[in-house]
Structure formats: C-alpha cells, structure tokens
Amino acid sequence: MQEKANEASEKLQETKEKNAQKVHGKGEDAKEKLQDVLLSVKDKLSDVKEAGENFQEKVSSSDDKEKSKNKRKIKGVNQIKKATDIKSSTKIKSSNDIKSSTDLKTMGS
C-alpha cells in the first residue's frame, strides 16, 4: 500500500514538473509574441507621429498664406474646450425655459 502511494506521489511530482516546464515554455512564447506586437505598434505609432508632424507643417505653412486672406484658422490645443467648459445637464434649458411665439414682442408693442 505504501509502495503504491509513493509511486502515485512520484507520478504526481513528474506530472507537476512537466506542466511547470510547459507553462514556462508557453510563457516565454507569449512574451516573445507580445514583444513583437509591441514593436510593430511602436513602429506604426512612429509612422503616425511623423505623418502628424508633416500635416502640422503643411497646416502651419498654409496658415501663413491664409492669414493674409483673412480665412478662419484651425483651432489650437489651447482653444479646444475642456470637459469643465462643457455645459452640464443642469445648465441646459428645459422646455419651460424656451421662449414660445407668444413671448415674442411684436412691432407695435
């Protein structure tokens, strides 16, 4: 009986070690794949950044031409509304606050 218990214990230990090796190996594979994906994302982001910089240069150079023509400029980062600048739901007019045609003054009034 003791012999069978020892044998089962050894098999369990061997299986445990095999599984640990498999998990470690798969972990390494996953790590390598993740690094490859991150590198490709980094490359793509650098391409996007470069394209954005080129676009900004084109906008800036065309902006100088447009200033002389008095055309509307593209908003800068400082001119864009923040979340704190946007009206909250309590500041929006309700249907009772909106003027109707009876509230408007006529020419004779």
Tokens 């031409």, residue? 65
Cα–Cα distance between 78 and 75 in angstroms, integer? 8
Q: Give the tens place of pLDDT for each residue, 90-107.
A: 777 666 677 766 666 666
Domain that holds residue 46: 26-63
14's tokens: 């061997």
DSSP 101: T
For residues 63 and 73, the answer to whether their CB atoms sit within 8 Å is yes
Residue 84, domain member (yes or no): no
pLDDT (tens digit, 9 = 90+) per residue, 61-98? 766 665 555 556 666 777 777 777 777 667 776 666 77
17 in any annotated domain: no
Residue 34 within a domain: yes
Inside any domain, residue 57: yes
- Alpha-carbon torsion, ordered 43, 46, 51, 55, to 10 deg: 170
58 within some domain: yes
The structural domain count of the chain equals: 1
Question: Is 71 part of any domain?
Answer: no
pTM attached to this predicted model: 0.39
